[in-house]
Structure 1
């Protein structure tokens, strides 16, 4: 094998407006977010020493999958707190992901609730068991 050694591994995703993303991730989610000289944001997530890069893209299209899952002890309490901060949770009316009136899915999988950032990317709070 070769001598390739990865020095750093990190995730990235795009948004259509860095200022709106900064306000959302710091204000609504109360996360540690840094602006970088490269005109990107670094989302400093607990337990992830490398952070996650958020960049602005002119032709941004929201991800159709969940880009971030936030593990919590109690999804219902997290949903209540985030709703009070103005976060709107997705509603699914049928199938295995059906949600209750708060937007919480308690089906066959983990207890989870999805919401979107201002750029339309899917995020979730998911119960850590």
Structure 2
């Protein structure tokens, strides 16, 4: 039924303008606002657009909603920290982050949150 359909993903935020500033200015993602529908479209290179919508009773996702593959995770984390992004630290059996907030492995991953509390990641390998 959907073999030829190009699907897209979406998730909620609590403040569309804060999301627009974060995704557009901090993460430097091309985006557009569909004001009449109250949507923000993230134009992810080489992928389908991701739709963000404002939800008054928004609850942040407890899982990673968006992953950004990078060539050099150490540089990506350093650059994002310089822009004010705070990374998560984990110390669980089977999931530990180092002093740079990176879980080393295949892939290496570092998690951070958007202004609405949704979990995002950068990953390498």
Question: Is TM-score (shorter-chain normalized) higher than 0.5?
Answer: yes
Q: 1 CA distance for matches of 2:77 and 2:2?
A: 43
Give the count of matched residue pairs. 124
- TM-score, normalized by length of structure 1? 0.89
Question: Would the alpha carbon gap of residues 4 and 85 (structure 1) be closer, same or farther in structure 2, given more than 3 Å must change?
Answer: closer
SS at match of 1:102: coil
Aligned to 1:115: 112
Unmatched runs of 5 consecutive residues or more in structure 2: none
Q: Does 1:42 align with 2:41?
A: yes
Structure exhibiting the larger radius of gyration computed from Cα positions: 1
The one-character-per-residue Cα deviations of 1:60-85 (angstroms, maximum 9, x if unpaired) are 00001100000001111100000000
Please provide the CA RMSD for this pair: 1.6
SS at match of 2:65: strand
TM superposition score normalised by structure 2: 0.92
Unaligned runs of 5+ in 1: none
Residues 11-20 or 31-40, more deviating = 31-40
2:73 is the counterpart of 1:75: yes
Cα shift at 1:95: 2.0
Residue 93 of structure 1, CA deviation? 2.3
Residue of structure 2 in register with 1:59 after alignment: 57
Write out the 4+ residue segments of structure 1 that deviate beyond 4 Å after TM superposition.
3-7
